[in-house]
Amino acid sequence: MNAPDAVIALDAADRLAHKRSEFSLPDNTIYLDGNSLGPLPKCVKPAIDELVTDQWGADLIHSWNRHQWIDLPSLVGEKIAPLIGAAPNQVIACDSISVNLFKLLAAALKLNTSRSIVLSQTDNFPTDLYIAQGLSDLLGEQHCQLKQVAGSDLIANLDESVAVLLLTEVNFRTGELHDMRVITELAHSKGVLVIWDLAHSAGALPIELDQCQVDFAVGCGYKYFNGGPGAPAFVYVSQRHQPSLQQPLSGWMGHKAPFNFEPNYRQGKGITRLLSGTPNILSMVALDAALTVFDQLNMHHVRLKDLNLLSPSDPQRRGSHLAYSHDDGFAITQALIEHGVVVDFRAPNIIRFGLTPLTLSYQDIWQATQILTLIMREKLYCQPKYQRRQKVT
């Protein structure tokens, strides 16, 4: 099935088209799930080979200095910084989003002690809500109380009782995009600190953390940054909060002088105090290599490719995946996958189409829509084999 000339012309004019060859992608598959797990950049394999064989295998313990393992959280953080609009010394790679949110939430509440409410939206990604609940259980509601409201009620609830606003920029189900600049400004006008979760936006959209005066942010290494399954997350703390910031997971790597092995904790300088335990070097090296795909890349070009294609009703309000609900969403997802179009499903009835501009051509998208059309028109998804549930989709 050949795409129409108009689609072929779009690919010919695509200034990001060369990026596709930097990825290993299976044949006969259109992968629309980069929003769950980014595909494998070709540069990762040699980087991991070198790490395992030459560094760990041959240089052993000396690699911590010789191959800069000890600096990887900072080096990776500085690679991410320009991709999210952050000046240097504000981003570091470590742990998971969940663990990093705990650090930031506890630290933010310490900076705003006269208030206790953490405001978020009910359909935020659950781990954000769960972490706030865990902190609340630990500290008691007088110190930390999670208030979940519908997205449409956020503004009305953003008042002087709120200590911290905790939001994900792009909704994991619907793909809806919050206006970071407007919301952050409004929050600040009420004395509210803001933590942005960039899980579904970092690497997909231009983000201007510094310009938007954002206080704190976390984000994901394994979605649009293609760092591999369970890649380290990252954390951003605005320069202006760093001197007074104190986070509770005060492990040895966040100490001012970890190799002094002192019995008392002294916070590391600036963003390094966000570190906790020993960094996961294998995963860190994969993410470090994967980020080279973004060298010299303009995130506005990435975004434009995404938007030009989609002709959405309101592109300014959406991230980089499209979500459709359908009563047979699960079966449609399974039928698409069997026909070589990898999408994912989110309960109860949502199909997500992840449109990662670096790895997809316009012809891929055209092909995917042809297949979707066939599946829907012929009701192929009604076949019994597509009805069974998997544990993870």
Q: Tokens in use for 118?
A: 């953490």
Catalytic residue among 19, 223, 273, 318: 223
DSSP 252-315: GGGBSSGGG--SS--BPSGGGGG--S---HHHHHHHHHHGGGGTT--HHHHHHHHHHHH--S-G
How many Cα atoms sit within 13 Å of 299 on the Cβ side?
18
Buried b (16+ CB within 10 A) or exposed e, 349-371: ebbbbbbbbbbbbbbbbbbbeeb
Closer CB to its own copies, residue 174 or residue 184?
A: 174
CA 121 to chain centre: 18
Closer CB to its own copies, residue 79 or residue 299?
A: 79
Closer CB to its own copies, residue 157 or residue 213?
A: 157
Which of positions 358-377 make contact with its own copies (CB under 8 A)?
Answer: none
* Residue from the set 153, 248, 325, 382 that interacts with its own copies by CB under 8 A: 248
Reduced to 3 states, what is the DSSP secondary structure of residue 135?
A: helix
Question: Does 265 participate in catalysis according to the annotation?
Answer: no
* Residue from the set 4, 21, 53, 88 that interacts with its own copies by CB under 8 A: 53
Q: According to the binding rule CB under 8 A, does residue 130 interact with its own copies?
A: yes
Cα 304 from Cα 302, distance rounded (Å): 6
Q: According to the binding rule CB under 8 A, does residue 152 interact with its own copies?
A: no
Q: According to the binding rule CB under 8 A, does residue 340 interact with its own copies?
A: no
* Residue from the set 10, 30, 92, 135 that interacts with its own copies by CB under 8 A: 135
Q: Tokens in use for 328?
A: 């047979």
Which of positions 61-120 make contact with its own copies (CB under 8 A)?
Answer: 61-65, 69-70, 95-99, 102, 106
Cα 204 from Cα 175, distance rounded (Å): 12
Catalytic residue among 23, 31, 102, 125: 125
Question: Does 317 participate in catalysis according to the annotation?
Answer: no
Question: Does 49 participate in catalysis according to the annotation?
Answer: no
Which of positions 228-247 make contact with its own copies (CB under 8 A)?
Answer: 228-233, 246-247
Q: According to the binding rule CB under 8 A, does residue 308 interact with its own copies?
A: no
Query: Any idea which residues carry the catalytic annotation?
Result: 125, 197, 222-223, 352
